[in-house]
A and B are shown apart, each in its own frame.
Chain A
Amino acid sequence: EAGVTQFPSHSVIEKGQTVTLRCDPISGHDNLYWYRRVMGKEIKFLLHFVKESKQDESGMPNNRFLAERTGGTYSTLKVQPAELEDSGVYFCASSQFGDEQFFGPGTRLTVL
C-alpha cells in the first residue's frame, strides 16, 4: 500500500511569491490533515479535511494560506504571498478514521 506522498520535497522562493504544496493521501482515507514545523518548534496542526470538506481550520495562521481538497482526493496548500516566517516543514497526514494518522515525508519550504 502506497503511503502519503508530498510534492515538492523542497521549495525555495522569494518573499512575496506564491507556492503551492501538494499532498496525496493513502487511498481510501477520508481524513486529511496539514501540519507545520517551524525551526526549533513542535509540529503544529493547520487544518483537517473530511473528504472535500474543511472540518477544522483553526490552526491556519492567516488568510495568506489556502487549502483545498477538490473531489476528496489530493489536497493543495497555497501560500500567497509568502513571508519569511512561513519557512518550515509542511507535513500532510491521512487517516481512515480518527485514530492513527500516517504522515508524508514533508515539504521543506524556505522563503528568502
Chain B
Amino acid sequence: EDQVTQSPEALRLQEGESSSLNCSYTVSGLRGLFWYRQDPGKGPEFLFTLYSAGEEKEKERLKATLTKKESFLHITAPKPEDSATYLCAVQAPYSGAGSYQLTFGKGTKLSVIP
C-alpha cells in the first residue's frame, strides 16, 4: 500500500527564515509526486509535479526537489502570505484499470510570523 509521511506536522518561521519541509514516500513505482498548498476553508491548490529523482522545480520562494525516497519543499525567505498547509501526494504508475488516484500525506502546517 502506498504511504506518504510528511514532517514536521507544524512549523513556525520568522519572516525571512528559510527552511524545508519533508515528504517521505513508499510506493510501488512512482509516476509522479505532487505538492499542493491548502489555505483554511479552501481546496488544495496545485504547486508542482516531480517525476524523477534529481528533478527540481521552482516557483517564487518555493523550490521542490525529489530523490528516490523523499521530496523536499524548500522555502526561501518566507513571507506571512506563505502561511498555509502544504500537502504532498504520490501517484503510482497507471494500473490496468488506468487509475490516476493520488495518495496524500497529512500535510505540514506552516506559519510565517512577521
Q: Verify if A98 is at the interface (C-beta below 8 Å from B).
A: yes
Q: Bound complex: CA of A3 vs CA of B31, how far in Å?
A: 25
Give the distance to chain A from B29, nearest Cβ to Cβ, in Å.
14
Q: Which of the candidate stretches A36-44, A66-74, A78-86 sits at the interface with the other chain?
A: A36-44
Q: Quick one: given A42-B107, A99-B32, are A48 and B101 in contact (CB under 8 Å)? A: yes
- Whether B100 contacts A31 by the Cβ 8 Å rule is yes
> How many residues from B make CB contacts under 8 Å with A?
28
- With A and B bound together, what is the CA distance between A99 and B101 in angstroms? 10
Let me know if B106 is at the binding interface, CB within 8 A. yes
CB <8 Å contact, B49 and A45? no
Shortest B89–chain A CB gap in Å is: 8
Interface of A, secondary structure class, is strand
Q: How many A residues touch the partner, as a band?
A: 20 to 34
Give CA–CA (A31, B100) in the complex, Å.
Answer: 9
Q: Is the CB of B43 within 8 A of A91?
A: yes
Q: Which residue of B lies closest to A105 (CB)?
A: B43
Q: How distant is the Cα of A59 from the Cα of B100 in the complex, in angstroms? A: 12
Shortest Cβ-Cβ A-B pairs, 6 listed? A103-B43, A56-B99, A45-B101, A43-B104, A98-B100, A103-B44
